[in-house]
Amino acid sequence: MKTERAIDKRALIHQIRRAYGLDVARLTFVPKGEVSYSYVADCAGGDRYFLKCLDASRLGKISASQLDFYLPLTWNLYSKGLFRNLPVPVRTRTGGFYTYFDGLPLVLFHFIAGRTLDDEHPLSDTTLVALARSVATIHKSTPEIGVENPCVERFDIPFEDDLLNGLDELKRVTRRDRWSKRALRDLLLPRKDEILGYLDHLRELQSVARTMRKDQVLCHTDLWGGNLIQGDDGSLYILDWEGAVLAPPEHDLYPFTGERFGVFLATYEREFRPVSLDGDIVRFYLYRRNLEDLTDWVFRILYENTNEEQDRNDLRGIVEDCMSGWPYLEDGISEVLDAPA
């Protein structure tokens, strides 16, 4: 959950006018997201847009590195009619997909009216089926996306050094450090060997995954309620395409392993095609996502956070979204292995 930073809104409105030719009358801060400051931009003529200005954090820089792939990608998906239930970037007056403000990337999207589904957990059956149809449509679009130099899955573990360095840094935390660092130390250091064991297992799964030859499809890679909008028009929209990549279908399917996986898979295969899923690739994605999220929160608490509310949110995320899942990382794999080929 973002808190608004002190910015010159008049200067921001001026930059929007200069780059996009839009007469913005009002900017309303949206306290959502992890790596950007977001605003609803209302224009004098009644048009409405969604504005994202990336921050200078570690995650913000990672997201900025993806702009030249995912913005042309989403533009093509929409303009070619391949998949339209997504935020469409607005082109600048010079034809670009983003501009800069205070040295940071600024992206403008057409506004989608509706409500996000971050509080809908688990997703309803209706939403789950609609999402399975959407994922199938996205995967089916792969041959026609028309983007040069796409991001391709290499089964990397890009956060590994940051995680190891963060765990080492916790050993140097003392009572003179702020409360959140001490809480993080007390939470993770007693389980350091367990975390390193998960990382070792992830490396083993990486080696296995890299030997496999799997068909690659366009994957969104971050399909959870916070990235879904139930539109006022009744449609389901998928947001935040920064992590889009060409990857095995398992990358988009693994979040749905569990007791309702069969429902999701049946709809997906009916709309796309039958797929042969590999349990080790599913394991790779489960372990990688858990440790990646852990790294992101550890890094923020140690090096980036400046307010107690963000610290509390990040500590809660570590406990509720990472640590609570460690005993169950293997759960759901049986549903994948039992799925018909």
What CATH number does the domain containing 81 carry?
Answer: 3.30.200.20
Look up the domain containing 159 and give its range: 125-338
Q: Are residues 162 and 90 in the same domain?
A: no
Three-state SS string over the chain comes to CCCCCCCCHHHHHHHHHHHHCCCEEEEEEECCCCCEEEEEEEECCCCEEEEEEECCCHHHHHHHCCHHHHHHHHHHHHHCCCCCCCCCECCCCCCCCCEEECCEEEEEEECCCEEECCCCCCCCHHHHHHHHHHHHHHHHCHHHCCCCCCCECCCCCCCHHHHHHHHHHHCCCCCCCCHHHHHHHHHHHHHHHHHHHHHHHHHHHHHHHHHCCCCCEEECCCCCHHHEEEECCCCEEECCCCCCEEECCHHHHHHHCCCCHHHHHHHHHHHCCCCCCCHHHHHHHHHHHHHHHHHHHHHHHHHHCCCHHHHHHHHHHHHHHHHHHHHHCCCCHHHHHHCCC
Q: How confident is the model at residue 5 (pLDDT cuts 50, 70, 90)?
A: confident
pLDDT tens, position by position, 259-307: 789 999 999 999 999 999 999 999 999 999 999 999 999 999 999 998 8
pLDDT tens, position by position, 164-174: 999 999 999 99
What CATH number does the domain containing 334 carry?
Answer: 3.90.1200.10
In a domain, 161, yes or no: yes
In a domain, 39, yes or no: yes
Q: Are residues 146 and 211 in the same domain?
A: yes
In a domain, 120, yes or no: no
pLDDT score for 1: 62
Q: What is the pTM of this model?
A: 0.94
pLDDT score for 120: 87
pLDDT score for 338: 62
Q: How confident is the model at residue 332 (pLDDT cuts 50, 70, 90)?
A: low
In a domain, 117, yes or no: no
pLDDT score for 7: 84
Q: Are residues 332 and 188 in the same domain?
A: yes
**Chain mean pLDDT for the chain:** 94
In a domain, 119, yes or no: no
Q: How confident is the model at residue 339 (pLDDT cuts 50, 70, 90)?
A: low
In a domain, 2, yes or no: no
